[in-house]
Amino acid sequence: MITDGLINRWELVDDAIDSVGADDATIYNAPPFVDGALSCDGVNQYLAIPIPGLYLNTTVSLTFWLYWISGDIPTRNNTSSGGTIPVYSSAGKLRMRAQGLDSVLGQSVDLYKNRWVNFVLKSNGSVAKLYADASPALSVTAGSGSVISPMYFGKAGAASTYSTIKCRDVRRYSRELTDDEIADIAAGVG
């Protein structure tokens, strides 16, 4: 596992404990752990991960595995407008939002649903980039606004809309991961 700059890791195999730092996540409405992942039902179950210091106008990386079944916003920080959304669907296309600034429309969101995908959101302080299974998917100039903790998985931020997802192995790094490291994580060796 890549440990250089690793600040937090929530494995989500059978609990929501931060195995590296001291920022344990909170599980709401008892989503079960199934086959080594947290499984949210799209009705009211979700995960809230504290992300102190995840500002995309700094150097940072967030990586997670997501099995996206339904819903338009499977993960979002604690906002109801603007904010940061690592992945979402708009007009059937993949998008990301970095502190209120939206990417252009990407490929069909169907390419990323109903299978495990490793997503990496990284920023060099100026540009935020989203990778899907180690391939660059989207980029956007990083905004200067704050990212309001926590980051929700299965819930669209402060809004009461939910997505049916499974998630596992969420990590936060204090640096930009390299393309080789992103490939290693997607391959399950990093």
- Give residue-wise pLDDT tens across range 103-158: 999 999 999 999 999 999 998 888 889 999 999 999 988 766 666 789 999 999 98
Extended beta strands in the chain, E state = 6-10, 26-28, 38-41, 46-49, 59-70, 75-77, 85-90, 93-98, 101-102, 116-124, 127-132, 135-141, 151-153, 164-173
Q: 150: cis peptide before it, omega within 30°?
A: yes
Tokens 């109801």 -> residue: 80
Could you read off the pLDDT of 22-38 as tens digits, one per residue? 999 999 999 999 999 99
Q: What are phi and psi of 107, to 5 degrees?
A: -70, 175
Is the per-residue pLDDT at 20 higher than 90?
yes
Between CA 116 and CA 172 the distance in angstroms is: 19
Mean pLDDT for 41-49 is: 97
Model confidence at 98, in pLDDT bands (50, 70, 90)?
A: confident
- pLDDT band at residue 79 under the 50/70/90 scheme: confident
In the chain, the percentage of residues whose pLDDT exceeds 70 is: 95
The string of pLDDT tens digits covering residues 7-18 is: 999 999 999 999
Name the average pLDDT for the chain: 92
Cα–Cα distance measured from residue 96 to residue 94, given in angstroms and rounded to the nearest whole number:
7
| Nearest residue to 97 (alpha-carbon basis) of 146, 139, 57 | 139
Model's pTM, two decimal places? 0.95
